[in-house]
Structure 1
Amino acid sequence: MPVGEDPHRHARLLARVHDATVAGEVPPARPRPVIGASWTRVRSRGIDPERGRTGRLLGADELVERRRESGMSEVLPLLRGKLAGVAEQTANIMVITDADGHLLWRDGSTAVRRNADALGFFEGMSWGEDVVGTNAIGTALVTGLPIQVYSAEHYVRTHHAWTCASAPVHDPRTGRLLGAVDLSGPAATVSPTTLALVETVAQLAESQLRTAHLEALEALRGSAVPLLSRVTGPAVVTDAHGWVAASTGIAPVNRVALPAGCGAGRAWLPALGDCAVEPVPGGWLVRLIDDDPTSALDERTRVRLDLRCPQARIEVASASGGWSHPLTPRHAELLFLLTAHPGGRTAAQLAADVFGDELRTVTVRAEMSRLRRNLGGLLARRPYRFSDNVEVEVLRPDDPGSLLPHSIAPAVRGG
C-alpha cells in the first residue's frame, strides 16, 4: 500500500481494479507489477476468483514429515520468539510454511485463527499460488522476494478482508528454498512496518542457519586436518553439502559441487575433475585422480537447466555419473541467457541483457567467476559460453509468465 494512502480508500480502488481485471475489462488503475504478474499467472492456471482451488489437506503423519524435511524446524524457536508475540498483540497470526506453501505451524490471535479456519488457512493446507491464487505466501515463494499483499490484491475474493506479509527463507548451505514466514490478519491491521519486520526476521533465521553451518564446518576441520596429513596426493574434506573444511595439494576452494545422492566411489566433480569419494565422519574425503578439471569433458556432457520451479537447478550427466546444483536467481538468469546465445556473450553484452546497462561489467564478471568456480569446465570464457562439448537442454515452465518470475532483466522479460 502506498505510504500515506488511506487504507479504506485504497482498498476500494483495489476492489474496482480487481473486478475489472477478472471481468476482462480495462481497470481504473494498474495493479502493482508484482501483483499484475501474479494475477496473470493464476488466471492462466484457471484459478476461480471466487473460491480458489481446493487443496489437499496433509494427513497428520505427512505433516510431521513435512515439518522435519523442510528445514524450517531449525529456526522455529527464533521465528516464534520474534513474531508470535507481535502477532498476538496486533490481532494477526504468524504462519510458517514449507517451500511448496504448505502451512506447517501457526501461532497468534485466537480470534483471527478462528476466522482463518473458515478460509482453510490452517496447518496442513497449501497456500501456493496454484491453489489459492495471489497471496503473500504463494507469491513470495514464486518470486523469491518478500511481499505484502493487501485486500483486493488477493486474487480470490474471499481473501479481500485480509492483509498479509511474507518473506522466503533459504538454506545458506545449499541455496535451497526452505519455506516462508508470514504475518496475516484483518485488512484493518495493515501497517507499512509489517513487511520490514517479517523480512528482518527471515534474514535473522538465515543468519542463524549460517552461523550453525560455520560452527559445524569448524568442528569438521578439527578432524579433517590430521586426516589429510595421512593422504597421498591432492585431496579435500567437505561436509555433506560440499563445503570444504580443509584441503591439501590443490588451490583453495570454498565449495565442491557433489553428485546428487553422493556416495562412495568414483565421480567427476566440475571444480576438481575425476575423483575418488570416500565417507568420513561429518562429510566426505575427495581425492583427485586427475587434477585437470576439463578431462572429464573429453566425452560429451549433458546439461539440463531446469527452470520449471522457483528454485532453478542445473543437472549434469556424464560418463562419470550425475550431479545437480541449485542456482541463485542471478545465476539462473545468466545461464539462461547463455543458452539463448550459444556463440557466447561478452561481459558488456550480459550487462546489457541483465541490467540494461553495458557498463555494469564488474558485477557480471564477479557473478560469472562464482559460476565458473562451481561449474568448472562446463563454462568457457572470452566470450562466456558453455564449453563446446557440452549439450544443453532448457526445461521451461508450461506457463511462459512463470519463467524466472523473479527476473526484471530486459533480455528475459522482453524475450
Structure 2
Amino acid sequence: MDARQAARLLKGVRAAALAGDRPPAAPRPEIAESWRRMLARGVHPDRDTRSRLLSAAETEERRQVSPLREVLPVLREGLLPALDEALHIMVVADADGRLLWREGHASILRKADRLGFAVGADWAEAVVGTNGVGTALVARRPIQVFSAEHFVSTHHDWTCAGAPVHDPRDGRLLGVVDVSGPLATMHPATLAWVGAVARLAERELRVRHLESLERLRAVAAPLLARLTGRAVAVDPHGWTAAVTGLAPADRIPLPKGFGPGHVWLPQLGDCVAEPLPGGWLLRIAASGPSSTAASRVVLDLSRAGAWTATVYGAAGSWSQELSPRHAELLFLLAESPRGRSAAELSAALFGDPTRTVTVRAELSRVRRRLAGVLAHRPYRFAQDVEVELIRPERPAELLPHSTAPGVIRARLDGAGPWGPPRGRSDDVVP
C-alpha cells in the first residue's frame, strides 16, 4: 500500500471513529488512545487551534534553562544532513510542547509557518490534537503520526515522527525531537532514525553527568576524610559522589524545594544539608533512619507528567516526583489494598504474567526510595500506612502515557460522563 492509499484508509478510520461507527481497520493503539483523549477534551476535529506564540524573549529564556540546549550539536549532526534531501524539518520542543528550535529545508519551513508549526508555538496534544510532538510527550515513547492519524484534519497533509528525550539523572522528561514533512515524503524508517538520535542525545547527557560527579567527588573527598560521623556528598539530583561511615547508595532522592538546613530523608533519617560546589553535603544525625517510619502517603496522579508521592512521618514530610513506570506501579498497588504478587502486577502492567523479573527490579527501586512505605509477599503498601490517591478530573487523563492493561481498565471503569463519547459501542476502537 502506497502513502496515498494509506492516507485514504486512515481518513475512513478516523471518520468512523468520530461518528461512533465500526472503522474499516483498527487504528494503532497509541493513536486510538490519543483520539480518546481528544474526544474527552473536546478538541475540534476540523478546526485548527493556535495558541499565542512565545515572544523572542520568552523563547530565549526557555532555551537558556533547557538541558536540551546542551545536546543540540548531537541532534543537528544526527538529523540535519539528511533533511534537505528528504524535504523534512527538525523541531525540538520542551516538556510543555513549546517549539524552541526549528531547522531544515527552506520550502518546508515556509509550509510549516502556514500550519503554525513555528518557534514559540504550543504543540501540546491538548492544544493541537494528535501530533508527533504532543503525543510523544504524553506517551513518553517515540511516536509516528501519519496523515489522518492527526486528530485535526488541517494536519492531514503532514507526517511526523517524534521521540522524547529524558534526563538520565532522574528520568525527567526534557522534551521531544521531531522530524516532520509533507505526506509524500514519509519513510517508514524515519521513526527508528529519530529514536536513535534521541538516544544518542541522552547518552551525551549521561557522559556530562558522570563528568560532573567526578568534579564533585574531587571537592567532597577531602572534606569527608576529616569528618568523624556519617555523611554523603550528592549532586543536585541526589546521585552519590562520595560517602563516609555508611554503605554507599547510587542515589539519595531529594525532595522538591531541597535546600540547606535540617531535612528528613526516608533513606537516611534526619540530616543537615550544606551546599558544595556542584552538590550537597548531607551530615546524618546520630539517630539515623530510625525516625523514617511513615504513617501516610499521598499519591498525586492529578497532573500528567508531574506525578508525586508525598510521605508523612513523625519526623516530617518528604515529596518525590515519580517516573512513569513507578507511577503505574504505585497506582496498581493503591488500587489493591490486599496486595498483588509479582505475576499479578506483571499481568496488570504488561498483559503478561511471566515478566516478573522486570517487576521485581522496578519495585526494588521504588522501595529504596520510599523506605518503610511498601511491603512485599505480596507487594502492597505497609499495613500501618494510610494511602490517599488523587486522580485527575478526567479519567482519560489517568497516566495517559500508560498502555498497562490495569491502567486502561481503570480509565474505562471511571469514564462516567467523559466516555465512551458520542455513543460509541464498547467494541469499537477508539
What TM-score, normalized to structure 2?
0.91
Contact map agreement 2:88 2:179 (CA 8 A) in 1: yes
User: Aligned partner of 1:71: which letter?
Assistant: P
Counting only pairs closer than 5 Å after superposition, residues 127-276 of structure 1 correspond to structure 2 as: 127-276=123-272
Deviation at 1:151, TM superposition (A): 0.6
Contact map agreement 2:145 2:160 (CA 8 A) in 1: yes
Counting only pairs closer than 5 Å after superposition, residues 65-76 of structure 1 correspond to structure 2 as: 65-76=61-72
Contact map agreement 1:70 1:98 (CA 8 A) in 2: yes
2:56 aligned with 1:86: no
Q: What is the alpha-carbon distance in structure 2 between the residues aligned to residue 405 and residue 130 of structure 1? A: 12
* Equivalent of residue 106 in structure 1, options 102, 105, 113: 102
Deviation at 1:17, TM superposition (A): 1.6
Deviation at 1:219, TM superposition (A): 1.5
Deviation at 1:389, TM superposition (A): 4.1
Deviation at 1:33, TM superposition (A): 1.3
Q: What is the alpha-carbon distance in structure 1 between the residues aligned to residue 345 and residue 166 of structure 2? A: 26
Q: What is the alpha-carbon distance in structure 2 between the residues aligned to residue 317 and residue 108 of structure 1? A: 51
- What is the aligned partner in structure 1 of residue 351 from structure 2? 356
Q: Sequence identity, in percent?
A: 56
Contact map agreement 2:267 2:292 (CA 8 A) in 1: no
What TM-score, normalized to structure 1?
0.94
Q: What is the alpha-carbon distance in structure 2 between the residues aligned to residue 42 and residue 190 of structure 1? A: 24
Deviation at 1:105, TM superposition (A): 0.6
Q: What is the alpha-carbon distance in structure 1 between the residues aligned to residue 286 and residue 351 of structure 2? A: 42
Deviation at 1:85, TM superposition (A): 2.4
Contact map agreement 1:235 1:287 (CA 8 A) in 2: yes
Q: What is the alpha-carbon distance in structure 1 between the residues aligned to residue 108 and residue 318 of structure 2? A: 45
User: Aligned partner of 1:295: which letter?
Assistant: S
Decide whether aligned partners of structure 1 residues 291 and 243 sit closer, same or farther in structure 2, where only a CA change above 3 A counts.
farther
Deviation at 1:128, TM superposition (A): 0.8
Deviation at 1:318, TM superposition (A): 4.6
- What is the aligned partner in structure 2 of residue 280 from structure 1? 276
Q: What is the alpha-carbon distance in structure 2 between the residues aligned to residue 50 and residue 278 of structure 1? A: 56
- What is the aligned partner in structure 1 of residue 303 from structure 2? 308
Q: What is the alpha-carbon distance in structure 1 between the residues aligned to residue 116 and residue 52 of structure 2? A: 10
Q: What is the alpha-carbon distance in structure 2 between the residues aligned to residue 21 and residue 346 of structure 1? A: 37
Partner of 2:271: helix, strand, or coil?
A: strand
Deviation at 1:55, TM superposition (A): 1.2
- What is the aligned partner in structure 2 of residue 55 from structure 1? 51
Partner of 1:293: helix, strand, or coil?
A: helix
2:371 aligned with 1:383: no
Deviation at 1:388, TM superposition (A): 3.7
- What is the aligned partner in structure 2 of residue 293 from structure 1? 289
Contact map agreement 1:307 1:394 (CA 8 A) in 2: no
Contact map agreement 1:273 1:295 (CA 8 A) in 2: yes
For structure 2, the residue ranges without an aligned partner over 5 or more in a row are 411-430
Q: What is the alpha-carbon distance in structure 1 between the residues aligned to residue 383 and residue 48 of structure 2? A: 47
Q: What is the alpha-carbon distance in structure 1 between the residues aligned to residue 384 and residue 260 of structure 2? A: 27
- What is the aligned partner in structure 2 of residue 117 from structure 1? 113
- What is the aligned partner in structure 2 of residue 328 from structure 1? 323
Q: What is the alpha-carbon distance in structure 2 between the residues aligned to residue 21 and residue 358 of structure 1? A: 32
Q: What is the alpha-carbon distance in structure 1 between the residues aligned to residue 343 and residue 350 of structure 2? A: 10
Q: What is the alpha-carbon distance in structure 2 between the residues aligned to residue 389 and residue 268 of structure 1? A: 20
* Equivalent of residue 337 in structure 1, options 332, 342, 359: 332
For structure 1, the residue ranges without an aligned partner over 5 or more in a row are none
Deviation at 1:13, TM superposition (A): 0.7
2:394 aligned with 1:399: yes
Q: What is the alpha-carbon distance in structure 2 between the residues aligned to residue 178 and residue 358 of structure 1? A: 32
Larger CA deviation: 284-293 vs 248-257 = 284-293
How many corresponding residue pairs? 410
User: Aligned partner of 2:220: which letter?
Assistant: A
- CA deviation digits over 1:74-116, x for unaligned, max 9? 1112112221222222111100000011100100011111111
RMSD: 1.8
User: Aligned partner of 1:256: which letter?
Assistant: I
Relative CO higher for 1 or 2, CA cutoff 8 Å, sep ≥ 6?
A: 2
